[in-house]
């Protein structure tokens, strides 16, 4: 079932009397990236997956986004749906949103799942890359940037053996509003560093990382997991940055095992 909350496109699957799980997608994708996880979990959990403002079917407006405004959107969804202590699951940019949300109001959540993300903010090099991406979109249009960025997200195994799905992901992201894509780049560029809060997280945490993730590699994510007390770290084999799409079987197994311990 689809619901519009404060302009955001929110997909709801499962019984709303069950434990809620909120899925926050990465950049530049939409909530459909979580379908393999939702198909597995919707029988026992109430699955909430929304399109981040400016991406997917959520309108971009003026595109002046911040990570704080993205977190405000998440909180609005929690409040509007009256979600009681949801489990929060975020990948990449969705992980940035999840990290800041936990830092801001951890008591609203019962557990956290971080997929292929990082806690540190952009350094100077990262900020310049985001700025260059915005400039490229302005001068060349969205398609060239999207093709290059999405290609870098996926591991070679997936690109070679799932060519149709890989191409469909590029096509889908290319159809987004360039204003929304640039707004997401601005939000990521200006986000705060949440590294210091990792050691303060009290809720159960699962950290998933693709074996061949080129954007947030295991060398970044394993130390992040070590900072979170009693967290579980799982390396997803034969996967790049988009592990829930590239190897849904291992991601689902890790999530089910984690949820079974709660």
- Give per-residue pLDDT as tens, 208-261: 999 999 999 999 999 999 999 999 999 999 999 999 999 999 999 999 999 999
Write down the pLDDT at residue 67.
Answer: 98
Contact 240, 213 (CB under 8 A): yes
Packed helices 142-153 and 178-189: angle between N→C axes, nearest 10 degrees: 50
**Alpha-carbon gap, residue 106 to 85, rounded angstroms:** 10
Write down the pLDDT at residue 221.
Answer: 98
Nearest by Cα to 142 from 26, 28, 25: 28
Write down the pLDDT at residue 233.
Answer: 98
**Alpha-carbon gap, residue 95 to 112, rounded angstroms:** 10
Tens digits of residue pLDDT in 27-70: 999 999 999 999 999 999 999 999 999 999 999 999 999 999 99
Average pLDDT score over the chain = 98
């Amino acid at each position: 079932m689809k619901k519009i909350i404060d302009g955001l496109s929110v997909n709801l699957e499962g019984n709303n009397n069950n434990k809620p799980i909120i899925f926050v997608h990465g950049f530049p994708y939409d909530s459909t990236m979580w379908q393999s996880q939702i198909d597995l979990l919707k029988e026992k959990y109430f699955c909430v997956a929304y399109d981040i403002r400016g991406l997917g079917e959520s309108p971009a407006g003026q595109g002046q986004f911040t990570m704080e405004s993205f977190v405000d959107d998440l909180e609005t969804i929690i409040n509007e749906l009256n979600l009681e202590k949801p489990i929060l699951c975020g990948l990449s940019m969705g992980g940035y949103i999840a990290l800041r949300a936990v830092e801001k109001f951890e008591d609203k959540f019962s557990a956290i799942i971080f997929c292929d993300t990082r806690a540190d903010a952009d350094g100077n090099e990262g900020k310049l890359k985001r700025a260059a991406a915005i400039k490229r979109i302005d001068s060349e249009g969205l398609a060239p940037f999207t093709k290059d960025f999405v290609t870098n997200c996926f591991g070679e195994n997936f690109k070679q053996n799932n060519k149709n799905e890989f191409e469909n992901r590029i096509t889908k992201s290319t159809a987004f509003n360039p204003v929304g894509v640039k707004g997401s780049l601005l939000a990521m560029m200006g986000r705060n560093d949440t590294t210091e809060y990792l050691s303060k997280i009290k809720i159960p945490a699962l950290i998933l990382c693709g074996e061949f993730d080129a954007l947030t590699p295991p060398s970044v994510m394993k130390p992040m997991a070590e900072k979170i007390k009693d967290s579980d770290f799982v390396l997803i084999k034969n996967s790049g940055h988009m592990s829930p799409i590239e190897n849904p079987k291992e991601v689902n197994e890790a999530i089910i095992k984690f949820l079974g311990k709660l």
